[in-house]
Structure 1
């Protein structure tokens, strides 16, 4: 197991710890753990590409770790009424469809790496989640803070839907070529 894969595995370990912290409203710890998860995501991709350490495990596990961290945050934030449930539904539906598409391509021995639009959606969502937790932690519940959270979450959902559309287009191209 190489360093990028170890960093990905570390992210899997961080998910329940982060979830525990967020669930119990230990917001500072949750922000630190969520940020650490984001940093390990950036580092594992950078190291893997720079030192030619890209593996099939990494291509599969890295996005799964990202999505599990993100969905854990969204489930708990929905439970705490920090974000509307429709956000969780949109993201989970997108991930289910993308997972099914990835499985069908994997059966054809095709593994798709993440793209700039998928990475952008992840970064925007990480930012929106962190800002929402910061506002909650700081008890900044006023009209401006609430509006900013809605804007951040709206941008995250929009970038996620854009990434989904782009992946569907890519999936169709790849799927048609492999017939």
Structure 2
């Protein structure tokens, strides 16, 4: 296992760690959980940088890296909605979007042996989610504004991935 894939694996481990800390009774559990979330974000940036710079990109990493990101984001949105920091619909709408992306990704892999790497607009949406959640810590109203912008950008990414999916299916026909 190379370093980028180890960092992706670490992000999977941080998901239950985040939940344990967030819902624990320890002092400052919210703050510590947010630190775990931002550490996960830093490992995402780091693994992508290392993978590209040192030519360590693997199919495993290309597939599991975005899955780790999606699961971490959904976990955080779930916990924030469960504790009424954000509206519940935010979690559900992002959940539907992410499930659609996961199903589409696995379909492309299984049926067409194609892995679609993350595009800049998907990465921008992820960054905006991190920014929004960071702002939410200090200012709920301003943070929610950024969160809604992140949702819009995430659905723009979904639309573009859908167009790409259709193009791959058409190419496979011919």
- Shorter-chain TM-score: what band? over 0.9
TM-score (norm 2): 0.92
Which segments of 5 or more consecutive residues in structure 1 lack a partner in the other structure?
A: 136-144
* Distance in 2 between residues matched to 1:146 and 1:69, nearest whole Å: 21
Cα RMSD of the aligned pairs, angstroms, is: 1.2
Runs of 4+ in 1 over 3 A off after TM superposition: none
What is residue 154 of structure 1 aligned with on the other side?
148
Q: Is the contact between residue 132 and residue 143 of structure 2 (CA under 8 Å) also seen in structure 1?
A: yes
- Unmatched 5+ stretches in structure 2: none
Residue 173 (structure 1) aligns with: 167
Is residue 18 of structure 1 aligned with residue 18 of structure 2?
Answer: yes
- TM-score norm. by structure 1 comes to 0.90
1:150 shift after superposition: 2.1
Once the two structures are TM-superposed, the CA of residue 147 in structure 1 deviates from its matched residue by 2.3
How many residue pairs align between the two structures? 169
User: What's the CA shift for 1:114?
Assistant: 0.5
Q: Which has the higher contact order (CA 8 A, sep 6+)?
A: 1
Kindly state the Cα deviation for residue 22 of structure 1 after the two structures are TM-superposed: 1.9
Q: Is the 8 A contact 2:132 2:144 kept in 1?
A: no
